[in-house]
Amino acid sequence: MKRILFFLLPAALAGCYDSSGRHGDVGDADAPDDAVVDDAAADETADLPPDCPPIEDFELFFTIDDVDQPFNDTSIEEPCTVETITVTSTTKEIRLQCTASDGSAVVHTVVLRTYVSLDIPLWEGSSVVFRYVVEAPWWSSKWFSIGYEGGGFAVLGMDASSLFPERSDMGDFYSPLTVSQAGTSCPPEPEYCYDSKRLALDVAYLDEARTLIVSGTQGSLAGTNPIAAPLFRIAVQAAYEHTDMQCTDVPPGWFKALFVLYPGD
């Protein structure tokens, strides 16, 4: 059985809206470690309020079935077997052999790229449930998860204008977590026809643990069971609310994040 470690790389841009999540002064992911730091930018960071940490330099990117920017509404939930896991220096490809709602066999391919190093608890031959939703008004929003028949997930992600799809019943998408958005005191960042306000994800595990992860940062959450406590690793590249809108072809906000669950022993 093969376990995977993955790294997500930069996302392409969709339509007229930049969904990359690179709002504000995010560094070049290809810059060398000894790159010169702009003193003015450092001073600006020093003036940020306590709940507005500096933006970390990482990017998340995933494709489903070799489509980066899907523009056809989709909603599937299928039982699958992890057929192969292919690891390269920049990508992790998970090939799933699934059964569609009409009983036919179908193959789905999930490709993950990131500069965030996460060991995902999936193995070839594992029985899983694959969920994938696309909603495409003026822009393309997508959500996916690879989870288990009894509930819970191994990995899930979204690159979307909201935490949940509007037209699909995915109220348990983050289960066993509950996830909502929370405000911060970060100053708004002007874009071409609106202001972007950094948000945080308010993440809770049952009644045992809770944390806030601000846009552009990473965090973790653990249960309290001393014997079998699950651990969640979460990377939030983008969680923004768009305000002072002067145009109609952009979403009210954007969320790009990746969640990984390490089950307790």
Mind listing the pLDDT tens digit for each residue in 121-146? 899 999 999 999 999 877 889 999 99
- Write down the pLDDT at residue 249: 79
Q: Is the C-alpha dihedral spanning 45, 46, 51, 57 positive or negative?
A: positive
Give 265's pLDDT tier (boundaries 50, 70, 90): low
Q: What is the mean pLDDT of residues 89-101?
A: 90
Question: 213 or 171: which carries more pLDDT confidence?
Answer: 213
Alpha helices in 57-160 (DSSP H): none
Residue type, 249: D
- Write down the pLDDT at residue 230: 87
- Write down the pLDDT at residue 119: 73
- Write down the pLDDT at residue 229: 83
Q: What are the pLDDT digits (tens) for 46-90?
A: 455 668 999 998 888 899 998 877 778 889 999 999 999 988 777
Could you give the percent of the chain with pLDDT greater than 70? 79
- Write down the pLDDT at residue 84: 94
Nearest CA to 212 among 182, 186, 188, 233?
182
Q: Strands (DSSP E) along 151-227, which ranges?
A: 153-160, 177-182, 189-190, 195-198, 200-205, 209-214, 217-222
Nearest CA to 180 among 200, 208, 150, 161?
200
- Write down the pLDDT at residue 99: 97
Question: 148 or 80: which carries more pLDDT confidence?
Answer: 80
Compute the distance between CA of residue 156 and CA of residue 144 in angstroms, rounded to an integer: 6
Q: What's the full length of the chain, in residues? A: 265
Neighbours of 115 (CB within 10 A): 19
Cβ distance 179 to 201 under 8 Å? yes
SS3 readout for 45-56: HHCCCCCCCCCC
Question: 228 or 206: which carries more pLDDT confidence?
Answer: 206
Is the per-residue pLDDT at 106 higher than 90? yes
- Write down the pLDDT at residue 27: 31
Nearest CA to 236 among 202, 188, 210?
202
Could you give the percent of the chain with pLDDT greater than 90? 47
Cβ distance 260 to 60 under 8 Å? no
Per-residue buried b or exposed e for 235-261, using 16+ beta carbons within 10 Å of the residue's own CB: bbbbbbbbeeeeeeebbebbbbbbbbb
**Among 99-108, 157-166, 177-186, 222-231, which is the least confidently predicted range?**
222-231
The secondary structure of 18-65 as a DSSP string is --S---SSPPPTTS-TTPPPPHHHHHHHHTS-TTSPPPPS--EEEEET
- Write down the pLDDT at residue 110: 95
Is the per-residue pLDDT at 94 higher than 80? yes
Give 115's pLDDT tier (boundaries 50, 70, 90): low
Nearest CA to 94 among 112, 81, 110, 105?
110
- Write down the pLDDT at residue 53: 92
Is the per-residue pLDDT at 158 higher than 90? yes
Is the per-residue pLDDT at 32 higher than 70? no
pTM, entire model = 0.80
Range of the domain at 215: 4-262
Is the per-residue pLDDT at 264 higher than 80? no
DSSP secondary structure letter of residue 10: P
Q: What is the mean pLDDT of residues 163-189?
A: 87
- Write down the pLDDT at residue 47: 54
Is the per-residue pLDDT at 10 higher than 70? no
- Write down the pLDDT at residue 21: 46
Domain count within the chain = 1
Neighbours of 157 (CB within 10 A): 25
Nearest CA to 74 among 20, 18, 149, 131?
131
